[in-house]
Structure 1
């Protein structure tokens, strides 16, 4: 299969994105998270703790942490020490469907999702967290559990590339309206409390059912929303009469019709407003991405806008 730049992705392209990680600080510094990733650290959604060591009991230690086996063996009170779990599981929830196989600017929306996933994936590994993902499309679902290894990230890339290339080689039925909901429901089954999940999907994929699943997931996990769009999703070109076909169905429209233009733009504005309202209601970051601009430039701008004290 011929790979056309911007239409389909390659492994070399995803691997090369590791060189652009330094251009956008998704993680501020070692041991300190950026304003975008890992925003919410409540007691309910804490990372959890790992056993560290046993030492002699000291006044003020929590008696509930006493190691009774060591205490009985040594006949001196000993207590268990724990440390915060250092490796955080990060899930990339990635859409690769026919509705993303489109783009009028720099790249197709499906490619933009893959590029963003690669950039975030390399950033996660650089911060010593575990990276995994779920990829969903018109008739497939792939699940790669998080691990802190380059091999696991490359495995995710391999599955992502396979799903991406399917879009070019075969005609698929439209994505079911509840596909994002089904993926989120499956994600909730494996997301541990304190996990971070980044949702990269088409702007058009948000439904009532998907919104409900996002609300449920946000109770125990940190979420970041990255809906992807193309300029033609928001405004029709003034190209005159156009014919659209899907299977046996055909549709003729006049893109210069003012009423049609206005109705089309209103629908796009309603979709954008719905994402914004969801983000505000759940208190989670919203980072919309467009095929019209460079990925790193967009993420850098979002990062700046989420800094404390930022004013539009």
Structure 2
């Protein structure tokens, strides 16, 4: 496979995904001795098995989970103390990355399919550098491929190769399977293969959240930790007033008058409803939500998202 870009921003190569390892130091996704990630310990009470290790006990502070109170130390000192945990080394991290036809679109810096692949690669390299076991599942319109979590560069390269191949298979003439809930099927497969205590990174189109997918995420969250990264493009949220717009797909054609104010308002309302649904789900499950857009650079978005997350935890 060529390491040279096929169509910058439209398709991705394996070489570009490998090069994402140079950006890991810019985004504190996982804890290091010198830097503590805002993601560390966000919802450790939901982990099962060997997902976390006990770290230390300290005086209870406002906002601490009451379920982690150390009652023996509290009784002995007559002052509330809570247990602290840190992420276990070699924790299984499983990346679910979409590469379907609905992601083969973009009006910003790149296509959504490219953004998903870059984010998956960045997270994969960060996990490997954190000494975690890395694997994942790449799903397209009619198939999916998975890699069992292992602590090896070969495992990550296998996953990146699958991502690049799936990405390069996308094209304007490809047909999307709209009758099949590929996201829901991928989540169901993850539930079947993952052990309790795993961390699941979900990279999918913002529009992928069907009723079935939401149910599968809820079930998956019972035994694993989740990090949700829905992907969108500016044109997913607002139509420009550009006159008559023509869309074609598989021989079908659609015309929209973008000068119609009611149409643009209804379009925005649908996008706002999708965003609100992701927010409600993340709040219900108690998991981080980091939406990504093709409008900005990936590293800058993650830095801003993690900074906001850290600020919320500090309140």
- Contact 1:38/1:196 (8 A) holds in 2: no
Query: In angstroms, what is the RMSD of aligned CA positions?
Result: 2.3
* C-alpha distance 98-239 of structure 1, shift in aligned 2 (>3 A): same
Separation in 2 of the partners of 1:138 and 1:307?
A: 36
Structure-to-structure mapping, 1:9-48, within 5 angstroms: 9-30=12-33, 34-36=37-39, 39-42=42-45, 45-47=48-50
2:250 is matched with 247
Separation in 2 of the partners of 1:292 and 1:309?
A: 24
Structure-to-structure mapping, 1:202-213, within 5 angstroms: 202-213=205-216
* C-alpha distance 43-292 of structure 1, shift in aligned 2 (>3 A): closer
Q: Can you give the 5+ residue segments of structure 1 that lack an aligned partner in the other structure?
A: 51-83
- Give the TM-score taking structure 1 as reference length: 0.84
* C-alpha distance 293-49 of structure 1, shift in aligned 2 (>3 A): closer
Separation in 2 of the partners of 1:205 and 1:37?
A: 27
The answer on 1:275 being equivalent to 2:288 is no
2:81 is matched with none
Q: CA shift at 1:40, angstroms?
A: 2.4
Separation in 2 of the partners of 1:126 and 1:276?
A: 30
Q: CA shift at 1:172, angstroms?
A: 2.0
Task: Pick the aligned partner of 1:191 from 181, 189, 194.
Answer: 194
Structure label with greater radius of gyration:
1
What secondary structure, in the 3-state scheme, does the structure 2 residue paired with 1:307 have? helix
Separation in 2 of the partners of 1:43 and 1:236?
A: 40
The answer on 1:129 being equivalent to 2:132 is yes
Aligned residue pair count: 279
2:219 is matched with 216
Q: CA shift at 1:30, angstroms?
A: 3.6
- Give the TM-score taking structure 2 as reference length: 0.83
Q: Can you give the 5+ residue segments of structure 2 that lack an aligned partner in the other structure?
A: 54-86
- Contact 1:113/1:200 (8 A) holds in 2: yes
Q: Deviations over 1:21-72 (max 9, x none)?
A: 111111131498622255322375242699xxxxxxxxxxxxxxxxxxxxxx
* C-alpha distance 43-161 of structure 1, shift in aligned 2 (>3 A): closer
The answer on 1:260 being equivalent to 2:263 is yes
Separation in 2 of the partners of 1:43 and 1:200?
A: 21
